[in-house]
Chains A and B, each alone.
Chain A
Amino acid sequence: MTVQTILKHSYRIAQKDLMELFRNRLGLVLLIVMPLFMMVMVGFIYPTNGTISDLQIGVVNEDAGLQGQFMSNQVFLPALQGINDQTHMLVMSNISSVDDLKDRVQRGNLEGGIVIPANFSESLMSGQQGTIIIVSDESNPQISATIRSALTGVFDAIGTQFAEQQLNTTNIAVVKPFNIQTQGVVSGNPSYFDFIAPGIMAMTVMMSVMTGLPVAISQEKEIGTMDGMMVAPVNRLSILLGKTFAQTARGLIQGAIILALAIGIFGVTIQGSILLVFALLLLGVFSFVGLGIVITSFTKDQETAQMLMMTLMFPMMFLSGVFFPIQQMPWYMQTISQFLPLTYASDALRKVMVLGAGVPQITNELIILVAFGIVMIAIALPVFRRMMTR
């Protein structure tokens, strides 16, 4: 049996499956309605801020100083450190340049940053406002808003302290010594929909193979048509591949529908490349195929497959940070979420769609997804072979 024959058979099987899908009117309607519901529901239940601590913040200090005096190092940063020692809200690290900072925010290494411009000391010492720029990750509006309000609060407090000090020594002070400007990594003003749309897309497409595959195969076993394929000189791999192709196509169609809805109805904009978005979705599918095959091998009938799908889908939906930022979850949930491929797929997708990231910024996610996919397929194929030759 040549590779060509295997592929030809799987193509015929995929074609047949899709033909059946498109004849199923109700199924088609649900294909569109389901993600629409999800977006609307989640979009309107905008979650409120929880308590957030240990935000990773980068500090870029470009302060050139004035006559050997550095207001940033001598006054501002110690004050910030002092307040943070009590609240533990931030974990600060020094970053060399603004570009580096933005890059790290895009990669997700940092959740936001503070930039102290070159004229900071000069402005302050000449009695003007010193500007501080807050950089935040807008693909995650919740975190972004939290960082802004937290830092603004801190700076106000420092500012008051500073003004009092100055008043004591010089008798002149600027009432609000710091001019705080916020700045996203990309231009525009992303909404919560920008945050959830990539997640929902990743989830729908990946779930479609993980759950669609077991359902599609067990259904054919149950009604008996599987025997028709099994009794033909067709490699078992062709059946698996064909079904996977069909489910992937279904998933991608659904993904495209979500994207269209997100753009058309919810005003979501895509910063990165659309091609990369779909490539990521495909990679997401690849990372889940193995899991789908394993589930297929263990489910005897359609009902079990459906139930298993619901059981797996819900925790995965919430643990992968599709709807709520992972940073809000308790530590043990955060740990679990690190083992779910959906976490990485939706993260990467979010970076591309909202932050305009390219391949270099998401290499970590790409590597993890590929590795997860390969490991799962390596586990799945022997399991599947055993199931087919019972």
Chain B
Amino acid sequence: MDTDNIIEVKNLTKTFGKFTAVDDISFEVKKGEIFGLLGPNGAGKSTTLRMLSTLSRPTKGTATIGGYDTVKHDMDVRKLIGIVSEKMIIYNRLTAKENLRFFGSLFNIPKDTLTKRIDDLLELVQLTKFKDAQVGTFSTGMRQRMNVVRALLNMPQVLFLDEPTLGLDPQSSVEIREFVRKLNQEQGTTVIITTHMMLDADLLCDRIAIVDHGKIIALDTSTNLKKIISGADTMIVKLEIANLTPDMTATIKALNCADAITQDNSTTLHVIVHGDEAFDSIIDAVRKKNGKITSMANLQPSLEDVFLHITGHEVRDSADQKIPMEHGPKRFGGGQRRVR
């Protein structure tokens, strides 16, 4: 075992009946790292996190946190971790302070220490003013800040965050992101964060595991992941055509140089291409169909493009379309499929 690794996951698998939600994944996380699990709805991110945080028992494989096995030494693991899960863990009928005092009392923290820590944490997320108000009266952003500091009561070495910015406005999202970064830098807390929002992953994570269908299909730093595209003489072209028709799209799709294509809106296409003549071929094809190109740009690859490139489909699901969890397999099938 590498002593730098605070988390080691080996062949972790979880099945629900016949359905495999997490399929034989292995990875390590270093102490002090911010590690992202990125993938569409139903990819198995939450299931992975639940197994790591002792909430769910793996069907196969093992995971250790700080050297403790999550199944055999679950109580030791629990002392080391904090979790912000998809559903907010706070009681609406209790006040901010009562909530924190309750959850704090479940860890064996001396009373004085706990009281001080609660005050500090509330101050840290600017909720001191509301400490005696019932949490049910809070805005979503305030509740999520409460929810995050709740996970920090035991000063965890590892913090698990499951889609912490889900349903928050951009302002609140930024606040949470900044808070997590600060925590990581100042306390050295290791952070495992799941998200389907590329921006979150890109801005925050040291390394990112791209998860699809329960499998890790790529794992690297954001920069290196993007090199998968830019390294392999691949380019991303953003194309605006004033009189775009489905026929034109089909023609471009059929081109040799085009690897994948998606349509952003009625006039804009997003094409991943390779080869030196790619630009010329596209222009020729559009001209042949009497298309009017209003703009054409060579984009920096984003994680979105990386995902599209590797999986052949988009991470299209957005926060506002999130479907409540059902029993049984839920498959990503929303956005356009790969067109090659």
Contacts and interface: CB of A to CB of B under 8 A. Distances in A.
A389 B105 CA distance: 23
A23 to B, nearest CB: 4
Contacts of B91: 16, 20, 225
A233 B78 contact: yes
Interface in A1-55: 1, 5, 9, 12, 16, 19-20, 23-24
A311 B177 CA distance: 48
Nearest to A229: B106
B93 A23 contact: yes
Given A20-B91, A231-B78, A390-B56, A12 B86 contact: no
B134 A390 contact: no
Interface of B: 53-57, 75, 78-79, 81-83, 85-91, 93-94, 98, 102-103, 105-108, 134, 150, 154
Contacts of A229: 106
Interface string A219-250: 00001110111111110000000000000000
B83 A231 contact: yes
B75 A233 contact: yes
Nearest to A1: B75
Contacts of A1: 75
A228 B151 CA distance: 8
Contact of A19 (B82, B87, B94): B94
29 contacts: A1-B75, A5-B108, A9-B105, A12-B102, A16-B94, A16-B98, A16-B102, A20-B93, A23-B93, A23-B134, A223-B87, A224-B85, A224-B89, A225-B89, A225-B91, A227-B83, A227-B85, A227-B89, A229-B106, A231-B53, A231-B54, A231-B55, A231-B81, A232-B107, A233-B78, A233-B106, A233-B108, A389-B57, A390-B56
Contacts of B56: 390
Interface in A312-359: none
A24 B91 CA distance: 12
Contacts of A230: 54-55
Interface in A355-390: 389-390
A23 B154 CA distance: 27
A334 to B, nearest CB: 42
B79 A233 contact: yes
Given A1-B75, A225-B91, 4 more contacts: A224-B87, A227-B55, A228-B90, A231-B78
Contacts of A227: 55, 83, 85, 87, 89
A278 B333 CA distance: 60
Contacts of B107: 232-233
A389 B83 CA distance: 18
Nearest to A230: B55
Contact of B90 (A5, A225, A234): A225
B268 to A, nearest CB: 39
User: Interface of chain B, helix or strand or loop or mixed?
Assistant: loop
Residue of B55, B89, B93, B102 ringed by the most chain A CB atoms within 10 A: B89
A139 B236 CA distance: 88
B106 A9 contact: yes
Nearest to A228: B89
Which 4 A-B pairs give the minimum distances between C-beta atoms?
A224-B87, A228-B89, A232-B106, A23-B93
A301 to B, nearest CB: 10
Interface string A118-151: 0000000000000000000000000000000000
A295 B86 CA distance: 27
A330 B91 CA distance: 49
Contacts of A23: 93-94, 134
Nearest to A11: B105
A224 B84 CA distance: 11
Given A5-B108, A12-B105, A233-B107, A19 B78 contact: no
Given A19-B98, A20-B93, A24-B93, A234 B106 contact: yes
Nearest to B88: A224
Residue of A223, A225, A229, A234 ringed by the most chain B CB atoms within 10 A: A225
Residue of A9, A19, A231, A233 ringed by the most chain B CB atoms within 10 A: A231
A224 B86 contact: yes
Given A224-B88, A224-B89, A233-B78, A20 B103 contact: no
A196 B275 CA distance: 89
Contacts of A24: 93
A230 B150 CA distance: 14
Nearest to A389: B57
A5 B108 CA distance: 9
Nearest to A220: B91
A8 B134 CA distance: 25
Contacts of A389: 57
A12 B106 CA distance: 8
B78 A232 contact: yes
Nearest to A239: B106
Nearest to B89: A228
A233 B105 CA distance: 11
A359 to B, nearest CB: 39
Contacts of B134: 23
A20 B98 CA distance: 11
Contacts of A233: 75, 78-79, 106-108
A12 B57 CA distance: 27
Contacts of B108: 5, 233
Contacts of B81: 231
A229 B79 CA distance: 12
A135 to B, nearest CB: 54
B215 to A, nearest CB: 23
Nearest to A24: B93
Contacts of B83: 227, 231
A9 B105 CA distance: 8
B13 to A, nearest CB: 15
A19 B97 CA distance: 13
A12 B109 CA distance: 14
A390 B57 contact: yes
Contacts of A12: 102, 105-106
Nearest to B54: A231
Interface in A85-108: none
A232 B77 CA distance: 9
B60 to A, nearest CB: 15
Contacts of A225: 87, 89-91
A225 B86 CA distance: 11
Contacts of B154: 232
